[in-house]
Amino acid sequence: MQESRLIVVKRRLTVKWEDFVLAIRLLERAQIWIAILLLPLAAFMLLPLVYLFNHAFKPLHELFLFPPTFIVREPTTSNFAELLALSESTIVPVSRYIFNSIVVTFLSTVAMVVTSAMCAYPLSKHPFPGSKIVLGLIMLALLFATEAVAIPRFIVIQSLGIMNTYLGHVLPLVALPVGVFLLKQFMDQIPNDLMEAAKIDGAREFTIFMRIVIPLVQPAIATISILAFQSAWGNTETSTLFMQEDAMKTLPFYMSTLTSGLANSVARQGAAAAGALIMFIPSLVVFIVSQRKVIATMAHSGIK
């Protein structure tokens, strides 16, 4: 009887194992077909990127071809040479604009991430009377266009006396409502029991925030860092409104002036194409480095 039972158990295990292997094979086939179907869509989404890189190396006569071509026929670096020649003829060297952009982008990104995390933590883990109203007001800020708050921002910056300073660049960019919302949603998934256990062990609030909460929301922080970087790196508003001295303006502002105020729309188009590529490359590098964290943010469904 025992031998027959063992035989039955082995047969059942064999059947279950075969079903498991078959399910894996079907899953692999499904993934292959999904990848095949998504490849054309991925190639289509890469077209703007291909066009941007090729556009920067087009000679002047190819820049104005109609219909425009995606692949450059006679690649040249004359556009970058023209951009350097223009920068050498300016009063403020382009290195100063680059330095300002690096400083402003770094400080703004750090400030946006820190303030978003510190704002999301009490809204998520320490709700207070009116916390839902505060969160609603933060979400309401997403509805306001940049132009709608330009005058109030100018009055505040002027009243604080920080015109023509790096703080005048950073302060208007600190508020990031989408960052607060995303971090709050992530922090809501952290079990309260985990934090209570840390308190029982003697951990203070700041220790819980830095050593428990922040490591668990790193994917969301990486996503917010990308959004903050892109917002600060491509910003021209602060240079236009709050900086009267050219030495305090940033690289995006300088790039925006390459083709402005000209009598025709042909001059400096090559330099503008090269400048657009230079402005895009840092954002691309940051995204490539942080893409795994971004994917984890989108796929995250709970603390495991």
SS3 readout for 201-231? CCCCHHHHHHHHHHHHCHHHHHHHHHHHHHH
**The predicted structure's pLDDT at residue 114:** 92
Cα angle vertex 206, ends 203, 209, to 5°?
A: 95
Cα gap 220→300, rounded to integer Å: 9
Are the CB atoms for 173 and 111 separated by under 8 Å? yes
pTM of the entire predicted model: 0.77
**The predicted structure's pLDDT at residue 111:** 93
Q: Where are the domains of the chain?
A: 93-257
Task: Give the position of tokens 């990308």.
Answer: 226
Question: How many Å is the maximal CA-CA distance in the chain?
Answer: 100
Are the CB atoms for 257 and 141 separated by under 8 Å? no
In this structure, which topology does domain 93-257 adopt according to CATH? MetI-like fold (1.10.3720)
Cα gap 80→70, rounded to integer Å: 19
Q: What is the pLDDT of residues 233-258, one digit of tens each?
A: 988 888 888 888 888 888 888 888 87
Q: What is the pLDDT of residues 16-45, one digit of tens each?
A: 556 655 656 655 666 777 777 888 888 888
Cα gap 63→40, rounded to integer Å: 27
Are the CB atoms for 241 and 150 separated by under 8 Å? yes
